Amino acid sequence: MGNEVKCVARVPGKRWQGKALLETDQLIFRGTECRLKILFGEMRRVTAADGELHIRTKDGTTVFEVGQVAEKWRDKILHPKSRVEKLGVKAGTRVLLLGRAETAFVAELRKSGADIESGPGSREIQLVFLFVEDERGLDGVPGAAKRLAGAAGLWIAYPKGRKEITEVEVINAGRKVGLKDVKVVGFSPTHTALKFVIPVDQR
């Protein structure tokens, strides 16, 4: 989930009407005759002026007429949030890890100053991370949900593009225990993370 606006995309000699979507690591354009996806890592130069976002890659420059969000999008592209920031982790955030968390992510949590708990414990947790690799791993959702209170969140990280587990199955697992899905983040090149919370009227 990112920021989406109706816009025009231009390259020399061509002009397309459509929608541009700024995600956490890429810009996507969807038009009736053209679809583009530009990863942040592919962008060699990004500038904004007069409501236009200019993005240069090895293939040339594409101009997106996105209006007043041009400078905001440029700043987000040039200064992307770290993974833990996108997941809502700050110094002192009480985090519970369930399942097999990748070593690099644990290191990022420690560097951020998060307060990590890996056992059952009794303290109030602010963010629970449940790592699953297939549909069977979703059996851990009820237990993870029990650790939530108030505005605490549950992130379920799962492989993307694999038949062993789908987004629909993850969403259904959260909803089955009374949670509401509110956000999705590209957790890594191989995994996606979905965030669930207790509905406001039930806290």
The pTM (predicted TM-score) of the whole model is 0.73
Distance CA 36, CA 193 (A): 24
Decide if 138 contacts 165 (C-beta within 8 A): yes
3-class DSSP state for residue 173?
helix
Look at residue 122 in the predicted model and tell me its pLDDT. Answer: 62
Look at residue 121 in the predicted model and tell me its pLDDT. Answer: 62
Distance CA 41, CA 43 (A): 6
Look at residue 12 in the predicted model and tell me its pLDDT. Answer: 85
Residue among 42, 39, 66, 68 nearest 54 (CA)? 66
Look at residue 1 in the predicted model and tell me its pLDDT. Answer: 41
* End-to-end Cα spacing for the chain: 25
Look at residue 180 in the predicted model and tell me its pLDDT. Answer: 97
Q: Say how many residues make up the chain.
A: 203
Tell me which amino acid residue 69 is: V
**pLDDT, tens digit, 9 for 90 and up, residues 117-139:** 866 666 789 999 999 999 999 99
In order of start, what are the domains of the chain with their CATH numbers?
A: 3-78 (2.30.29.30), 83-202 (3.40.50.150)
Mean pLDDT split into 10-residue runs, the chain, 203 residues: 83 92 89 91 95 95 96 93 92 94 95 85 86 96 94 96 92 97 90 96 91
Residue among 132, 135, 129 nearest 165 (CA)? 135
